């Protein structure tokens, strides 16, 4: 029974027009949009299994977003900044919340890590594509100009060839034999042969032709290792000079191959896809863990700038106190109640305090510029940080978690995403051993091919299905040379042992980091309590020395020591308060339960987990 539809090939002109339309419609921007759509769909589907992963993940930056828009402006300048105080007048005051938002949207480091996640998911789209029907097509057309040598008889040979019929015609007319004429013709022909009058002449003839080839193919890689492929090709040739002959043909070829031993099975053939799928999970986990560290780093830098600023303020206040003390002691010296040695010591302390203030001011400016770079802002950005953030920490006091170090370790081993990655990599290494072992087996594959050609030389649009050719067989490749595979297998065994050691090392490092964080947090709490008592103690000493100084009974040494100790204790108190805050965040981070919101804010543990 004839095949119901035989016209399977497109005419060359229609196919060319189709390729032009398809090619012109797929612009570079369109390809990028398709890549984004598929990649974001992968990230979204896998993010559900990663706690704390950023919602609505995208690497696109909002070019219309102004990181400094809507931020309040500092109207008055701060006296403790000295001559640079006027420089911060009109600067925008950046809160910690806004700084975190700017960091996650504008930081160069953060954007690079997001792009790494995107590229990992983008690579997965290609590995998935390998198991879908893959189409290909090609079209070729050409105009051929072919000069050809043609041998033609000479004019003498043409005349002598016509002599015979003429003689016979004369014989028929006269009725007499033309033997004499034949002898004369033979003599002339012999002379022409001697003189090479009968030598053929060569002429060049130009031939022009049109040719075209089309090729359409589709291939499908099966998950079990087999492959199905179809190829439809057509050739067309027409001469536009001479007899204008044409020659056309079409061939449809189908092949199916299936490995039976080496390379057989879904687990072996899907190894690359399986690993690519898992690598996306690892990238998402690493990025989520990075976000926790990133937020801690931003907070550390933010509070570090505020601490430097507070140090400038404390040193300035100490400088003003020394200036008042020097003026008072100078008045006492003029009255003879102070020696020049005592006055000189106090004046030297004044110079030392001024030097400390100048140095602290420089450190503050540098740390602020470094923080701007960390946020992805220009160092020329007119911003300053909010002193109210430090005041809020003072009002809140210490927020100290009530959890033992061993309980914290148990939580970390269950919640740390990097630990889960190391655990899964052990499984990856074990799986690769089986894949490498399969590569040591012999190659035995079944194959089946079919070939259907067009009917006739000028009917390329119809395939003759009744004359389809089939071939079936098997390919066997004996494992005489498997050194590369042997080495690969041995390498996977070593990689598995390394993965076990890395997993064990990761567990020990997590235990160490959690216990260290717990100790740092406990130490920060104790340091804060000591610093708080130290401030109270030194404030009483300073007040006592001021009263004694007004009565003229204070010693210079006691005044200098009391003032310096008060300044240092205030700086220590600020440092201890910030250190405890950062230690608490680092403790939650090392436990794996510091959850970061989309805007960079963290969730307090009381909100993130149930008690």
Q: Residue 369, class by beta-carbon neighbours within 10 Å (0-12 exposed, 13-18 middle, 19+ buried)?
A: middle
Whether the CB-CB separation of 428 and 503 falls below 8 Å is answered with no
Q: How many CB atoms lie within 10 A of CB 255?
A: 16
Tens digit of each residue's pLDDT (9 = 90 or more) over 278-326 = 999 999 999 999 999 999 999 999 999 998 998 898 889 888 888 887 8
Instruction: Give pLDDT, residue 431.
Output: 95
Cα separation, 133 vs 96, in Å, equals 52
Tokens of 383: 């911003």
Residue 145 φ/ψ region, left for φ over 0, alpha for ψ in the -120 to 50 degree band, beta for the rest: beta
Decide the pairing of beta strands 383-385 and 92-94.
parallel
Nearest to 460 by CA among 168, 286, 235: 235
pLDDT of residue 417: 93
What pTM was estimated for this model as a whole? 0.81
Q: Concatenated DSSP letters for 186-229?
A: HHHHHHHHHTTTTPPEEEEEEEEEEEEEEEEEEEEE-TTS-EEE
- Cα–Cα dist 535/544, whole Å: 14
Q: What's the fold here for domain 49-54+73-131+270-442+479-608? A: Outer membrane efflux proteins (OEP) (1.20.1600)
Q: How far apart, in whole angstroms, are the C-alpha atoms of residue 103 and residue 385? A: 14
Task: Report pLDDT digits (tens) over 112-131.
Answer: 999 999 999 999 999 999 99
- Name the CA dihedral angle for 102, 103, 104, 109, rounded to a multiple of 10 degrees: 140
Tokens of 607: 């909100």
Predicted pLDDT at 8: 42
Give, for 46, the enclosing helix (H) or strand (E): helix 28-47
Instruction: Give, as one character, the DSSP assignment of residue 148.
Output: E
User: Cβ distance 564 to 487 under 8 Å?
Assistant: no
Name the residue among 215, 219, 134, 229 with its Cα closest to residue 447. Answer: 229
What Cα–Cα distance (Å) separates residue 119 from each residue in 116, 275, 284, 425?
Answer: 5, 15, 11, 20
Distance of CA 214 to the CA centre of its chain: 38
Q: Are 413 and 508 in contact (CB under 8 A)?
A: no
- Of 143, 142, 135, 141, which is closest to residue 22 (Cα–Cα)? 135
401, 584 Cβ separation under 8 angstroms: yes
Rounded Cα gap, residues 398 and 514, in angstroms: 20
The H-assigned helical ranges of 439-555 are 483-550
Give bridge partners of residue 218 from the DSSP assignment: 135, 230
Return the pLDDT at 294.
Answer: 94
How many Cβ atoms from other residues are within 10 Å of residue 32's Cβ? 10
Which has the closest alpha carbon to 448: 172, 257, 272, 591? 257
Helix-strand-coil percent breakdown of the chain, rounded to 5? Answer: 60, 15, 25
Q: Nearest-5° angle of CA 503, CA 507, CA 511? A: 165
Residue 210 CB neighbours (<10 A): 15
Tokens 């990992």, residue located: 120
CA quadruple 160, 165, 168, 169: dihedral sign: negative
Work out whether the CA dihedral 308, 313, 319, 321 comes out positive or negative: negative
Sign of the C-alpha dihedral computed for residues 220, 224, 225 and 230 taken in this order: negative
Contact 265, 278 (CB under 8 A): no
**Burial (0-12, 13-18, 19+ Cβ within 10 Å), 33:** exposed
Instruction: Report whether 259 contacts 444 (CB < 8 A).
Output: yes
d(C-alpha 81, C-alpha 362), whole Å: 10
Can you state the angle between helices 417-438 and 483-550, rounded to 10 degrees?
170
Q: Which residues of the chain fall below pLDDT 70?
A: 1-26, 83-87, 148-205, 237-246, 456-461, 554, 556, 604-611
H helices present in 335-415, as ranges:
340-375, 387-396, 405-415
Residue whose pair of structure tokens reads 């190659």 in the numeric block: 443
- Could you give the count of Cα atoms lying within 13 Å of 497 in the half-sphere of its Cβ? 5
351 Cβ neighbours under 8 A, 6+ residues apart: none
Domain residue ranges in the chain: 49-54+73-131+270-442+479-608
Contact 311, 361 (CB under 8 A): no
CA 306, CA 394: separation in Å to the nearest integer? 13
Beta bridge partner(s), residue 143: 210
- What's residue 440's pLDDT? 92
d(CA 600, CA 604): 13
The pLDDT assigned to 192 comes to 62
Nearest in space to 93 (alpha carbons), one of 365, 416, 387, 358: 387
**Residue 568 neighbours by CB distance under 10 Å:** 17
């Amino acid at each position: 029974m004839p095949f119901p539809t035989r016209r399977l090939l497109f005419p060359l002109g229609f196919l060319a027009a189709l390729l032009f339309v398809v090619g012109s419609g797929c612009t570079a921007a369109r390809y990028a949009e398709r890549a984004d759509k598929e990649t974001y769909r992968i990230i979204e589907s896998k993010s559900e299994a990663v706690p704390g992963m950023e919602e609505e993940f995208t690497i696109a930056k909002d070019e219309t977003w102004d990181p400094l828009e809507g931020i309040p402006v500092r109207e008055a300048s701060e006296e403790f900044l000295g001559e640079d105080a006027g420089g911060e007048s009109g600067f925008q005051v950046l809160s910690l919340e806004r700084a975190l938002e700017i960091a996650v949207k504008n930081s160069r480091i953060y954007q690079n890590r997001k792009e790494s996640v995107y590229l990992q998911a983008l690579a997965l789209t290609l590995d998935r594509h390998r198991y879908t029907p893959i189409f290909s097509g090609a079209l070729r057309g050409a105009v051929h100009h072919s000069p050809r040598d043609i041998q033609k008889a000479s004019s003498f040979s043409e005349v002598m060839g016509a002599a015979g019929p003429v003689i016979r015609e004369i014989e028929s007319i006269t009725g007499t034999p033309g033997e004499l004429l034949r002898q004369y013709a033979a003599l002339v022909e012999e002379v022409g042969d001697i003189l090479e009058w009968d030598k053929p002449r060569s002429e060049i003839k130009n031939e022009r032709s049109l040719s075209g080839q089309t090729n359409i193919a589709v291939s499908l890689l099966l998950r079990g290792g087999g492959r199905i492929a179809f190829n439809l090709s057509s050739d067309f040739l027409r001469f536009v000079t001479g007899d204008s002959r044409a020659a056309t043909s079409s061939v449809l070829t189908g092949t199916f191959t299936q490995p039976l031993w080496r390379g057989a099975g879904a687990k072996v053939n899907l190894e690359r896809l399986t690993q690519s799928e898992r690598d996306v999970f690892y990238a998402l986990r690493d990025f989520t863990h990075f976000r926790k560290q990133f937020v801690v780093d931003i907070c550390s830098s933010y509070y570090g700038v505020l601490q430097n600023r507070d140090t400038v303020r404390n040193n300035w206040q100490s400088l003003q106190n020394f200036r008042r003390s020097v003026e008072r002691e100078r008045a006492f010296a003029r009255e003879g109640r102070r020696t020049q040695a005592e006055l000189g010591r106090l004046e030297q302390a004044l110079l030392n305090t001024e030097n400390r203030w100048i140095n602290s001011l420089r450190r503050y400016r540098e740390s602020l510029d470094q923080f701007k770079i960390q946020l992805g802002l220009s160092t020329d950005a007119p911003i300053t940080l909010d002193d109210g953030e430090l005041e809020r920490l003072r009002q809140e006091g210490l927020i100290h978690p009530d959890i033992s170090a061993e309980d914290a370790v148990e939580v970390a081993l269950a919640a740390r995403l990097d630990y889960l990655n190391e655990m899964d990599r052990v499984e990856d290494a074990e799986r690769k051993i089986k894949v490498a072992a399969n590569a040591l087996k012999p190659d035995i594959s079944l194959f089946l091919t079919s070939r259907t050609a067009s009917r006739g030389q000028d009917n390329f649009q119809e395939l003759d299905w009744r004359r389809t050719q089939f071939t079936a067989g098997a390919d066997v490749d004996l494992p005489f040379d498997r050194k590369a595979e042997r080495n690969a297998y041995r390498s996977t065994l070593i990689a598995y042992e390394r993965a076990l050691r890395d997993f064990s090392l990761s567990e020990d490092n997590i235990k160490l980091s959690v216990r260290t964080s717990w100790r740092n947090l406990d130490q920060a709490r104790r340091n804060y309590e000591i610093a708080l008592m130290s401030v109270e103690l030194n404030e009483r000493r300073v007040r006592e020395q001021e009263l004694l100084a007004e009565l003229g009974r204070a010693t210079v040494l006691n005044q200098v020591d009391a003032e310096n100790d008060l300044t240092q204790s205030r700086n220590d108190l600020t440092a201890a308060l910030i250190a405890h805050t950062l230690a608490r965040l680092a403790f939650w981070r090392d436990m794996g339960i510091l959850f970061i919101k989309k805007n960079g804010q963290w969730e307090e543990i009381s909100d993130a987990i149930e008690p």
